[in-house]
Structure 1
């Protein structure tokens, strides 16, 4: 798998801090176009079954996400409605307003890499507190498995959309 840096840190009780980052050989604007295609995210993010922009304000709106996976051969679904605030093309802040977690807030950041033209450092950080009925060890295991897959899916989507526009040759 590509060079994806990922960590989960424990906070008080059930609180977890997530951090994921990956260097992507596309411009910040190209990466922005892919990660803000909210209504089509479920077409290329493997564990996302629904992604629906609920309100239509330009840079501050609600987004419904429904994820699905199997944990120990049992189907598991997680729904959140997020308030999304965009700061084009630098950051996307998200805060849960309702859903299957006790609390969630996250941020996507896009940073140009000065010494490497048309390269973007895409990072995601989040603070998650599951409901007490959700086994934290199983949630951590799924996050460890799925978040790197999701970042790879973003890179693959960029390769499909912008094939030939990357400044770095990508392995086929």
Structure 2
């Protein structure tokens, strides 16, 4: 049986070994020792399967019954991500199912936008119109709420967060998140609506990622 003194010495050696490894890694990678191994971004705090999917470049939508969170992780700048998310007048050029979109009024950081969508639902081509109030918090958040249109209710917000590879590092990616609650008008089959709405969120996030990457590429060529 190992006596207490021998066990204590063994545990001290283990701690010293691990600490030495972290210091060596920090020296090689230029990561400060105090933050080596510390990963605490929004992405790092997500469940493992979601974190892996985002880092593979996949869009991700979670939730049910009209309450959803959609995310996508893009290698880009905060400026480019913000430019795409707030390019209301050009949504029809890069967002699927959007026929038209325009800003109808502006008051400082508050806007009203009108958007018309057209999509295939079962055997029918369905066109819908919504008018939403928008409040922008510069390069970080966009809140929106339905004013009128072909939905019973809709509200939510966009978040744009810079993501670094490690705590204290320079951000090289942006996490784009939309949190939304939407309910159909009476007479619309709720189950069908929820399925179509969730699928459209996934397609939209993929299209946003593609547009952000496209604009990032153009920006890099110009610089």
TM-score with structure 1 setting the length: 0.87
Q: C-alpha displacement at 1:134, in angstroms? A: 1.1
Who is 2:59 aligned against? 4
| Per-residue Cα deviation, 1:28-55 (whole angstroms, up to 9, x for no partner) | 2110001111100111101111111000
Determine if contact 2:58/2:206 at 8 Å carries over to the other structure.
Answer: no
Tell me how far 1:164 sits from its aligned partner.
6.3
Q: 1:164 to 1:56 in 2, by over 3 A?
A: closer
Higher RCO (CA-CA < 8 Å; seq separation 6+): 1
Show the 5 A alignment for 1:22-171.
Answer: 22-115=72-165, 117-163=171-217
Name the one with the larger strand percent. Answer: 1
State the 4+ residue runs in structure 1 displaced beyond 3 angstroms.
none
User: 1:80-138: CA deviations, max 9, x gaps?
Assistant: 10000000111000011111111110100001113363211100011112111111111
Q: CA deviation at 1:165?
A: 5.6
How does the TM-score come out when normalised to structure 2?
Answer: 0.68
* Gap runs ≥5 in structure 2: 1-55
What's the RMSD between the two structures over aligned residues?
A: 1.7
Contact residue 42 and residue 48 of structure 1 kept, 8 A: yes
- Give the count of matched residue pairs: 161
Q: Which has the larger radius of gyration?
A: 2
Residue 106 of structure 2 aligns to a residue in which SS?
A: coil
Structure 1 match to 2:53 = none
Separation of aligned partners in 1, 2:157 and 2:147: 15
Measure the CA separation in 2 of the matches of 1:105 and 1:155.
Answer: 22
Residue-by-residue CA offset, 1:136-168 (whole Å, 9 max, x unaligned): 1111221232211111111111222221667xx
Unaligned runs of 5+ in 1: 11-15, 167-172
Bigger helix fraction: 2
1:126 counterpart SS class: strand
SS at match of 2:152: strand
